[in-house]
Amino acid sequence: MKLSIPKNYKSVLDVSQTEQAIKQIKDFFQLNLASELRLRRVTAPLFVKKGTGINDDLNGVERPVAFPMKDLDDDVAEIVHSLAKWKRMALADLEIKEGFGLYTDMNAIRPDEELTNIHSLYVDQWDWERVVSKEERNLDYLKYVVNKIYAALVRTEYHISETYLDIEPELPEEIKFIHTEELAAKYPDLTPFERETEEAKKHGAIFVIGIGGEMPNGEIHDGRAPDYDDWSTATADGCIGLNGDIILWNSVLNRAFEISSMGIRVDKDALNKQLAIRGAEDRKELLWHKMLLNDELPLTVGGGIGQSRLCMFFLKKAHIGEIQSSIWPDEMLKECKANDIHLL
């Protein structure tokens, strides 16, 4: 069990206030996100058919929850890990134009998740996707989108601090952009997570660019599937990757705190390249991959923003179980109770 207990921790809000504040955060943030990026809310699936390539396979090792469907000759359905690929199909079906997009509430079950202060079996996030032009598939455009999302974050934090006066806003006005290769050069003796923690502590909010591709030192900062984010395209500054993570400094847990994974999505050239790098070229025969290779899906930028993570950050909570109801080890439940951490 990996549980961190902050010294002298006491929740700013009681359970009743917390439940009310969770709704306020979710309502306020999603409206601001939709306004910033011109997104339409849509309804999304909880599960998809196995073998279509639509489900996100994350790092390629996590097992999806699956079940047979009686009325479909026991074909197998999988609970989604995320909607990274489904959203591009939805954009095509809805014929959404460049500069506009969609968002949805994504709920997932990840049975292989290691349970910690910030990781649960249950995942809830806003999955969003926006259509881009070929010319917009570059680092400057990615930064433009990140700044819009960050503006919605800052606005939401201020709104909550005005509603609950004991919560003080901490986010800086601007987010710092840094590449994984810069982090590796700056902190060569640290792990990727330790590098993020040092930089997040220094700046308050960072966007780490280039996650999934191999850096000049032979490292991969963190895993990424080969068929949604573009982590192999070289940028104008010579670095690799058109994707990244929004990471905040969590003053309660004293650590880097990822709240979003996002990026410019693969076009067919990047898909071919990344499938070859990962030795996964057999995926080209799957439905979703065929559609992309046949130019049936739009070029996009997209990502996910953790709902419980965001509420946890804004409400100064020590454990994600203070925001969402899930299942935890008995030992964790006992230790949290002994330290005034009320798990829902």
What pLDDT shows up at residue 170? 95
How high is the pLDDT of residue 277?
Answer: 92
Mean of the pLDDT values across residues 49-56?
79
Distance CA 208, CA 200 (A): 10
pTM: 0.91
Residue type for position 30: Q
Catalytic residue among 124, 230, 245, 322: 245
Options 78, 258, 267, 322, the catalytic residue: 258
Which candidate in 11, 30, 82, 261 is catalytic? 261
Query: How confident is the model over 258-266, as a mean pLDDT?
Result: 96
Above pLDDT 70, what percent of the chain? 98
* Range name among 27-41, 111-125, 304-318 with the lowest pLDDT average: 111-125
- Selecting among 30, 56, 136, 324, the annotated active-site residue is 56
Q: Is 133 a catalytic residue?
A: no
In the residue annotation, 261 being an active-site residue is answered as: yes
User: Per residue in 89-131, pLDDT tens?
Assistant: 999 999 999 999 999 999 888 888 889 999 999 999 999 999 9
Whether 75 is catalytic: no
Active site residue 56: yes
The SS3 of residue 118 is coil
- Name every residue whose Cβ is closer than 8 Å to that of residue 176 and which is 6 or more positions away in sequence: 199, 203, 204, 205, 206, 207
| Choice among 110, 195, 265, 309 that is catalytic | 110
Name the active-site residue from 11, 30, 125, 260.
125
Q: Is 258 helix (H, G, I), strand (E, B) or coil?
A: strand
- Is 340 in the active site? no
Domains, the chain, with CATH or none: 15-338 (3.30.930.10)
Burial grade of 27 (CB within 10 A; 0-12, 13-18, 19 or more): exposed
Give the position of tokens 């709920």: 107
CA–chain centroid gap for 252, Å, is 21
Q: What is the pLDDT of residue 59?
A: 57
Question: Is 258 among the residues known to form the active site?
Answer: yes
H-helix or E-strand spanning residue 141: helix 139-163
Predicted confidence band of residue 38 (pLDDT cuts 50, 70, 90): very high
Angle between helices 307-314 and 139-163 (to 10 degrees): 50
